[in-house]
Amino acid sequence: MKTLITGSMAFDTIMVFEDQFKNHILPDQTHILNVAFLVPGMTRHLGGCAGNIAYTLKLLGGKPEIMATVGEDFGPYSRYLDEKGLSSTHIKVVPDTFTAQAFITTDIDNNQIIAFHPGAMNFAHQNKIGDASDIQLGIVGPDGRDAMIEHSSQFKALGIPFIFDPGQGLPMFNGDECMTFLDEATYAVVNDYESQMLLDKTGLTLEQLAAKVDALVVTRGGKGSEVYVDGSMFEVPCAPISAAVDPTGCGDAYRGGLMFGLTSGKDWKTSAQIASLCGAIKIEHSGTQNHEFSLQEFSQRYLTAFGEALVF
């Protein structure tokens, strides 16, 4: 059985600002903001939430299927997917468009400023969930607005369990639309900022949001994550790291790990711990798809981090 991952495929340009943003932004002058950040370090990576999630899920032995729309410049990314054994069957090239592009600037505190050009992603609603077969679990990740709405509805209509993961797409939806997503979804995963945005948009508490899905996961960066399931909440700590090199894509790696756990029949605690370790391994590497590990290496780090054996 396969995992269907809907969301963005993108080229990520990552720049490092060797200072703190707060030292260069005057709070009382934001109405005339005009700030330039000197970024000596710059790299270009293959990314996008769907690609990033699929990459980590594949490392764990999962069977991801990516569903996305891309531009005519997608050739190098397509060849890379072939090399990694990742299927392009449900990736549609839209003529006369660019693949989505993210321009990410990170300061020394790991704060980020991101500019995003959606490009072909705006046509993602042309893809239909029903075109994929043998799907065990899906995810509605950040994508074109119409695509997120339609894919959520299609997953629900087909009876396929799926995760609602709005990410950077959350500001596109009002409270009623967010409630519809939660009514249709099986699970929801958000970071701490997105969780607060959901609370503001819906007027509900985290416990009330959690009651609308089978499980709600809130990631809180260096503070670990919270899992709301079966009417209660438990916390999962971050796995230890050697160094915090680049936070870009850590959330996607976490989701890849979580989906692997769920599709492998693991309980929520184990699944969230797998996810935590995936995020920890990713943050030790620059870029969103440059981390690697063998299953033996992963199992050893899991044992060290959580004091429990992990059987694949």
Residues 276-301: tens digit of each pLDDT: 999 999 999 988 999 999 999 999 99
pLDDT at 72: 97
How many whole angstroms from its chain centre is CA 78? 20
Active-site pick, 19, 107, 252, 267: 252
List, for the chain, all residue ranges whose pLDDT scores fall below the cut of 70: none
- Each domain of the chain, given as residue ranges in start order, spans 2-9+48-96+121-306
**Residue 41: its pLDDT value, please?**
86
Residue 18 pLDDT = 94
252 carries an active-site annotation: yes
Residue-level pLDDT at 220: 95
Long-range contact set of residues 177-183: C-beta below 8 Å, sequence gap at least 24: 177/149, 178/202, 179/212, 180/152, 181/140, 181/148, 181/152, 182/209, 182/212, 182/213, 183/212
Instruction: Report the predicted TM-score, pTM, of the whole model to 2 decimal places.
Output: 0.90
Q: Specify the pLDDT at position 215.
A: 98
pLDDT of residue 32: 82
Residues 252-275 have pLDDT tens digits of 999 999 999 999 999 999 999 999
CATH assignment of 2-9+48-96+121-306?
3.40.1190.20
pLDDT value for 34? 87
Q: What is the pLDDT of residue 31?
A: 81
